[in-house]
Copies of this chain bind each other. A is one copy, B any other.
């Protein structure tokens, strides 16, 4: 992705254009799959303070630029949202996530829509998170 487009994404979200924000967005655009805070720390060669990375991720989540992914091992993962994500708090893409047991990549399966779930009387659903664990297409024998 072009640099101009990253700058635009930031401006469109009323965020000032800074080195850390640009770099972290670049990483998300380049990277195949979700990333943890620690991944970003490594991939930026510790160029940015840990705190800055935490705050940048938090800002991006608030703006609807990235979303968090719940995982079976309860590590916090982040991935880019599709353009349409709203910037008001609890946005969620309605797609399924896939965690590969082998290569450990976590995919956003944008083409797989979250299934409906029939709940018992009285339970009112707002968000449905589906996380599938297994072997990904690149790790098949």
Residues in A lying within 8 Å of B, measured CB to CB:
68, 70-72, 74-76, 96, 98, 101, 107, 109, 111-112, 115-138, 140
| Contact status B124-A140, CB under 8 Å | yes
CA A110 to CA B84, docked complex, whole Å: 35
Q: A70-B70, A96-B117, A128-B131 are in contact. List 15 more A-B contacts (CB 8 A).
A: A70-B71, A70-B129, A71-B74, A72-B129, A109-B120, A109-B123, A112-B118, A112-B119, A112-B120, A117-B132, A122-B138, A122-B140, A128-B133, A129-B130, A129-B133
| Contact status B72-A74, CB under 8 Å | no
CA A119 to CA B120, docked complex, whole Å: 27
